[in-house]
Amino acid sequence: MFDSLKDKLGSFRSDVEETTEEKAEEAEADAEAEADADGGGAESADAEPEASAESETSEDDSSSGGFAQKAKSFAKGEIVIEEQDLEDPLWELEMALLESDVEVSVADEILENIRKDLVGATRSFSDETADVVEQALHDSLLKVISVGQFDFDQRIAEADKPVTIIFTGVNGVGKTTTIAKLAKYLEDRGLSTVLANGDTYRAGANEQIQEHAENLDKRVITHEQGGDPAAVIYDAVEYADSNDIDVVLGDTAGRLHTDEGLMDQLEKIGRVVGPDMTLFVDEAVAGQDAVQRAKQFNDAAEIDGAVLTKADADSQGGAAISIAHVTGKPILFLGVGQGYDDLEQFDPEELVGRLLGDES
């Protein structure tokens, strides 16, 4: 998962490490040259006025762009990371992020965070530069990925029952399968569920969700094709309330944010049912398209979080990195396979660990 982006982040660490190693070698050479010059100057010290030596030192400091400061830092076993040290590696990282479908404003935020962490920082030679850069990458990535994050399990546990969760998104991204996976996820945590087919316009929608319900031994509430989606989900909530069911999982028709009729349906579901949570579902492999759709759906009918399907097939990782920052709403789950158990709760810290090679 996200192997391509992982490799590119590793290349950035290597580039900065190489740059700072070259800088350390230059500082060592400069320090040795200064020591040689000081030794030669001592032999003729009696022939030169002290004031003149001080003047030369002052001129050397200013003309060499802080040479004396660099030499002093080197003598203390330190090196200062400067803007020019990061210029090329940061440009390469920017291109890598954009090639991995990271949204432009998100890439800019990541780069700026790294620049703030590293430029002007003094590092001991005893520190591994790669570790220093990795920490900056870790902090920057975590900052953008963690936007809006909340504990899904805790929220469900503490909410009044039944909890109603509505799923929305475009056609063909795996909403119905995600509902089935989440039903299994909740069952494993001791919570009962009922499914509701609010996708009343697509031929075969009832059969699809019914098949999942039978596989999982779940009850599904459906109406005839062409019925009112709000009425279906309302009936599911009533059923759950009467039968002590913990969670209602409501499917809706795939739609574009520009489809006024279908967006009106969502508004009606919100008015009639008052769902506790609306989750946007899209494919991780859709990259920038998924990011933009998430933003558009959130603008048109506010979402509470997102689920990314096919994350196991995504080598880029751009959607996983970008969606929370762009929408202000968290990614809550990743679909990582075809089975009902193949749903992972999204953990920003774990994702960053994977991207930086800390996790397999």
Q: What is the pLDDT of residue 13?
A: 73
Fold of 152-346: Rossmann fold (3.40.50)
Give CATH for domain 3-145: 1.20.120.140
Domain 152-346 in the same topology as domain 3-145: no
Cα Rg, the chain, nearest whole Å = 29
Closest CA relative to residue 233, chosen from 206, 251, 211? 251
H-run or E-run covering 341: none
Name all contacts of 61-70 with Cβ < 8 Å and 24+ positions apart: 67/30, 70/27, 70/30
Q: Among residues 294, 297, 224, 291, which one has the least CA distance to residue 263?
A: 297
Token pair belonging to 342: 């193949």
| β 343-345/331-335 pair status | antiparallel
Specify the pLDDT at position 123.
52
How is residue 253 written in tokens? Answer: 């028709």
Alpha-carbon dihedral of residues 34, 36, 41, 44, nearest 10 degrees?
Answer: -170
Q: What is the predicted pLDDT for the residue at 49?
A: 47
> Do 19 and 89 touch, CB atoms closer than 8 A?
yes
Measuring CA to CA, how many Å separate 89 from each of 107, 173, 353?
A: 14, 36, 21
| pLDDT for position 24 | 62
Work out the burial of residue 54: count CB atoms within 10 Å of its CB; fewer than 13 is exposed, 13-18 middle, 19 or more buried.
exposed
CA 16 to each of CA 19, 118, 130: distance values in angstroms, whole numbers, following the listed order: 5, 10, 8
Whole-angstrom distance, CA of residue 269 vs CA of residue 228: 9
Report pLDDT for 308: 94
Q: Are 321 and 145 in contact (CB under 8 A)?
A: yes
Task: Give the separation between CA 101 and CA 285, rounded to whole angstroms.
Answer: 10
Please state, in angstroms and rounded to a whole number, the distance separating the CA atoms of residues 263 and 260: 5
Local confidence pLDDT in tens for the 360 residues of the chain: 778 778 888 888 777 777 766 666 666 666 666 666 666 554 444 544 444 444 444 444 444 445 455 444 444 445 667 777 778 888 888 998 998 889 999 999 999 988 888 776 655 444 566 677 778 889 999 999 999 999 999 999 999 999 999 999 888 899 999 999 999 999 999 999 999 998 887 878 889 999 999 999 999 999 888 788 899 999 999 999 999 999 999 998 876 666 677 677 888 888 899 899 999 999 999 888 899 999 988 888 789 999 999 998 887 888 888 999 999 999 999 999 999 999 999 999 988 988 887 554
Q: Considering only CA atoms, which of 124, 185, 202 is closest in space to residue 343?
A: 185
| Domains of the chain by residue range | 3-145, 152-346
Q: Which structure tokens are listed for 308? A: 């990314």
- For residue 130, the model assigns a pLDDT of 61
Q: Which two tokens stand for residue 101?
A: 């479908």
Query: Contact 198/333 with Cβ under 8 angstroms?
Result: no
Do you find a cis peptide bond into 162, omega within 30 degrees of 0? yes
